[in-house]
């Protein structure tokens, strides 16, 4: 019997090899059965609409879990955050801290609530946070901030694209004035141009106050975009308010070099004896691991090099009402470990895409507001501090996971906490 090649093996593993052509066609064809019951078309929250949706679902067990009395009592609070509402999901929340941060905006010992279903995660971040505190705290610096929107315009020729740009660069003050009319808290701080043949991308950079700001910059940019379409002497063949150059909710090399959201660098120096005492490994072993894993990251095509930013970010974002999808861009950055001349461990993280806010979005919902209150950073004036705290949390996670891998404890910790009952 001839050997199967890799593609044939994959086909066999999917069990498609056991189906004949007619069977595949039948299974993938459009069914003749009628569509299941359709839910109400009204997307808003009201007792009547929620009841209609549950009537469609006809699942009392699920309803008891998702639409409990507290959820029913609070449901008006979700009006601006969800459509087709049927209830709330209960996530377990673990506590990390105290974690000492010595930042430009965050100066305190912080407790952080993390919402996750992954065993060992909170324990790992807590270990790193307590190590940071025992070493005197991490130094954190918010370096820059900007949220981007990038409308795109396609013209018939390169010459038309050039004419459009020649006009647009003389109208920056007008664009800023139009954008400013849409927001009290946001500000259009810079505009740049990227030309790709007959395509033109305008790169708008905003500051957004204490909000994460994605809706804010979308609304402001849309007004400028409409102004451009109404006033441009060169009419594009087609145009869109966002042309995928902003890096929104995706990992990009552009964001690694620049900023999307808030860029923060955090560092700490940990004495060798403390590394040995708390992480059960050596400075040399941790530095060697970082060197080897950095090469692995390059080989894998990673944008930036780090251990597991996404774990801490997702847990904190869900707990504190951030846009969880922004983990895609926020989990880009660089972790670096070095041995100092004195033999201590120098550790740093640089994260250029922290999309966090303390007002707007989901930050005012009951559970999420409670979590921000635990951190001590709810409301206006706290977004910069939250960014510094978030980056420090990620440093805590890096120290802990690299320590576990260096000491050979990584699998043991997961086995103990995830499997032992």
pLDDT tens per residue, range 72-122: 999 999 999 999 999 999 999 999 999 999 999 999 999 999 999 999 999
Using DSSP's 3-state secondary structure scheme, residue 152 falls into strand
Instruction: Please tell me the distance from the alpha carbon of residue 75 to that of residue 77, in angstroms, as a whole number.
Output: 5
Is the pLDDT assigned to residue 292 strictly greater than 60? yes
Is the pLDDT assigned to residue 42 strictly greater than 50? yes
Catalytic residue among 185, 242, 284, 414: 414
Is 109 an active-site residue?
no
Burial (CB < 10 A; 0-12, 13-18, 19+), residue 65, is middle
Most confident of 17-26, 168-177, 246-255, 403-412: 168-177
Catalytic residue among 108, 118, 134, 223: 118
Looking at residue 245, what is its pLDDT? 93
Pick the more confident residue, 230 or 35: 230
Q: What rounded mean pLDDT belongs to the chain?
A: 92
How far from each other are the two terminal CA atoms of the chain, in whole angstroms?
48
Looking at residue 35, what is its pLDDT? 86
Instruction: Please tell me the distance from the alpha carbon of residue 104 to that of residue 258, in angstroms, as a whole number.
Output: 20
Under 8 Å between Cβ of 253 and 333: no
Instruction: Please tell me the distance from the alpha carbon of residue 391 to that of residue 267, in angstroms, as a whole number.
Output: 10
Is the pLDDT assigned to residue 13 strictly greater than 70? no
Q: What average pLDDT does this structure show over 230-259?
A: 93
Under 8 Å between Cβ of 150 and 218: no
pTM for this model (two decimals): 0.91
Length of the chain: 421
* CA 310 to the chain's CA centroid: 8
Q: What average pLDDT does this structure show over 231-238?
A: 97
How would residue 280 be classed by pLDDT, with cut points 50, 70 and 90? very high
Strands 333-339 and 107-115: unpaired
Selection from 279, 240, 231, 263 nearest residue 352 by Cα: 263
pLDDT tens per residue, range 305-334: 999 999 999 999 999 999 999 999 999 999
* CA 186 to the chain's CA centroid: 20
Is the pLDDT assigned to residue 7 strictly greater than 60? no
Q: What percent of the chain has a predicted confidence (pLDDT) above 70?
A: 93
Is the pLDDT assigned to residue 41 strictly greater than 60? yes
Is the pLDDT assigned to residue 225 strictly greater than 90? yes
Strand partners, 351: 264
342 contact partners, CB below 8 Å, separation of at least 6: none
Domains and CATH numbers, the chain: 38-90 (no CATH), 95-145+263-419 (3.90.770.10), 151-240 (3.30.70.420)
pLDDT tens per residue, range 351-398: 999 999 999 999 999 999 999 999 999 999 999 999 999 999 999 999
pLDDT tens per residue, range 112-161: 999 999 999 999 999 999 999 999 999 999 999 999 999 999 999 999 99
Looking at residue 414, what is its pLDDT? 55
Burial readout 142-173 (b: 16 or more C-beta within 10 A, e: otherwise): beebbbbbbbbbbbeeeebbeebbeebeebee
Catalytic residue among 223, 242, 323, 338: 323
Looking at residue 1, what is its pLDDT? 47
Looking at residue 28, what is its pLDDT? 86
Is 323 an active-site residue?
yes
Is 306 an active-site residue?
no
Looking at residue 417, what is its pLDDT? 63
Using DSSP's 3-state secondary structure scheme, residue 143 falls into strand
């Amino acid at each position: 019997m001839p050997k199967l090649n890799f593609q044939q093996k994959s086909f066999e593993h999917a069990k498609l090899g056991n189906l004949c052509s007619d069977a595949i066609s039948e299974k993938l064809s459009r069914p003749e059965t009628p569509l299941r019951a359709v839910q109400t078309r009204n997307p808003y929250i009201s007792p009547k609409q929620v009841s209609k949706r549950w009537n469609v679902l006809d699942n009392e067990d699920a309803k008891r879990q998702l639409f409990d009395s507290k959820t029913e009592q609070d449901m008006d609070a979700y009006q601006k955050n969800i459509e087709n509402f049927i209830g709330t999901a209960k996530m377990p929340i673990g506590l990390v801290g105290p974690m000492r941060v010595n930042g430009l905006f965050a100066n305190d010992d912080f407790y952080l609530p993390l919402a996750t279903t992954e065993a060992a995660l909170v324990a790992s971040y807590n270990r790193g946070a307590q190590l940071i505190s025992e070493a005197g705290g991490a130094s954190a610096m918010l370096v820059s901030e900007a949220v981007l929107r990038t409308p795109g315009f396609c013209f018939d020729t390169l010459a038309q694209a050039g004419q459009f740009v020649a006009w647009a660069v003389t109208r920056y003050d007008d664009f800023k004035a139009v954008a400013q009319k849409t927001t009290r808290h946001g500000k259009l701080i810079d505009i740049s141009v990227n030309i790709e043949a007959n395509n033109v991308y305008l790169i708008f950079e905003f500051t957004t106050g204490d909000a994460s700001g994605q809706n804010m910059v979308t609304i402001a940019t849309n007004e400028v975009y409409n102004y451009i379409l109404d006033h441009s002497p060169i009419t594009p063949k087609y145009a869109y308010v966002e042309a995928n150059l902003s890096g929104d909710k995706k990992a990009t090399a552009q964001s690694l070099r620049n900023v999307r959201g808030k860029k923060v660098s955090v560092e700490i120096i940990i004495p060798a004896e403390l590394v040995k005492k708390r992480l059960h490994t050596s400075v040399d072993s941790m530095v060697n691991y970082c060197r080897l894993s950095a090469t692995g990251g390059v080989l894998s095509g990673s944008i930036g090099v780090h251990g597991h930013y996404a774990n801490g970010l997702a847990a904190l974002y869900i707990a504190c009402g951030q846009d969880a999808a922004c983990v895609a861009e926020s989990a880009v950055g660089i972790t670096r470990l070095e041995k100092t001349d004195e033999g201590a461990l120098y550790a740093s993280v640089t994260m250029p895409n922290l999309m966090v806010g303390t007002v707007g979005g989901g930050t005012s919902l009951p559970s999420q507001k409670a979590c921000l209150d635990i951190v001590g950073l709810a409301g206006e004036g706290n977004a910069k501090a939250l960014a510094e705290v978030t980056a420090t949390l990620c440093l805590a996670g890096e120290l802990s996971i690299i320590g576990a891998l260096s000491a050979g404890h990584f699998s043991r910790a997961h086995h103990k906490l995830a499997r032992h009952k």
